[in-house]
Amino acid sequence: MRQILISGANSQVGSYLAKEYYKEGFQLVLLYHNRNERIAEQLGKEGIFSCSVDLCDATAVQAAISESVKQLKQNSDILIHCAAVRSSDALPLFQTEPFQFTYVLKSNIISAYNVLRYSLPPMQEKRFGRVIMFGSDVSRKGLKNGSAYAASKAAIANMVKSVALELAKDNILINTVSPAPIKTALEEDYSGEYLQFRQRYFADYLTNVPTGKFVTKEEIKKVIDLLISEDLQNLTGEEIFIDGGSK
């Protein structure tokens, strides 16, 4: 039985993937930060291990993964990393506070490093692994008033390219999925001025995207279904953009 580790499992995309893959018979390791309301109905179910963990804390990540192995009796051979924080100050770089800029970079890059660091060795030992890291279309086009977030997503995409070179011989395929704005309920995660910033950004995107549509969680899953397939042999190190034809 394949086992999927989903980090950022309480996010709107992460929780959707968790529910769908559990229906399909996968065992799940669900790592979340503080909130778990979107995955509450799955907590405690057979074949699911869940844990609140600070993904920037390497020791905590290692401990959570070790505990999941004890409880589920196997290592995860698929990783889907959904966790991220955004540049919630929504300011031009020259007006940002160094602390906030550093926080976004650290949160996104170090969390990605930690989950990879402690998920990859068992995959290498088993000589099988499929890894999906979430990027963003802003890694190639930038994000006005969100430079820290854009920079962190570009860094993750390049980290993926490097890891792909290191582990391709072990049948571990790792790719970045970089979507444009996803159809989600913004008001569930944001408030105040930053919610308004996100709403304006989404409205502008919808006006200009060639397809005239948001990316959906369902089509993201279809792409991930392909990328985690055991039949794939050579698709690795890529950044796959789902952006409705936007460039």
pLDDT given at position 247:
75
CB atoms within 10 A of CB 209: 17
pLDDT given at position 238:
98
- For the segment 67-110, what is each residue's pLDDT rounded down to a tens digit? 999 999 999 999 999 999 999 999 999 999 999 999 999 999 99
| Residues 150, 93 contacting (CB under 8 angstroms) | no
- In the chain, % of residues over pLDDT 90: 96
197-223: average pLDDT: 95
Coil, strand or helix at 30: strand
- For the segment 33-75, what is each residue's pLDDT rounded down to a tens digit? 999 999 999 998 999 999 999 999 999 999 999 999 999 999 9
**Residue 217 in tokens:** 């969680």
Q: Under CATH, what is the fold of the domain 3-184+214-242?
A: Rossmann fold (3.40.50)
Q: Give the pLDDT band (50/70/90) at residue 222.
A: very high
CB atoms within 10 A of CB 151: 21
Q: Where are the domains of the chain?
A: 3-184+214-242
- CB-based contacts of 247: which residues, under 8 Å, 6+ apart? 141
**217-227 vs 12-23: helix crossing angle, rounded to 10:** 60
Which residues in 129-143 are b (16+ Cβ under 10 Å) and which e? Answer: bbbbbbbbbbbbeeb
Using the Cα atoms of residue 198, residue 193, residue 185 and residue 227 in order, give the sign of their dihedral: positive
Q: Give the pLDDT band (50/70/90) at residue 1.
A: confident
Q: How remote is the C-alpha of 31 from its chain's centroid?
A: 11
120-128: average pLDDT: 97
170-179: average pLDDT: 98
Reported as half-sphere exposure (CB side, CA atoms, 13 A), residue 54 has a value of 7
Burial status of residue 70 (CB atoms within 10 A of its CB: 0-12, 13-18, 19 or more): exposed
Asked whether residue 177 carries a pLDDT value surpassing 80, the answer given is: yes
| Residues 31, 64 contacting (CB under 8 angstroms) | yes
- In the chain, % of residues over pLDDT 70: 100
Separation of alpha carbons 63 and 3, rounded Å: 18
Count of positions (residues) in the chain: 247
203-225: average pLDDT: 96
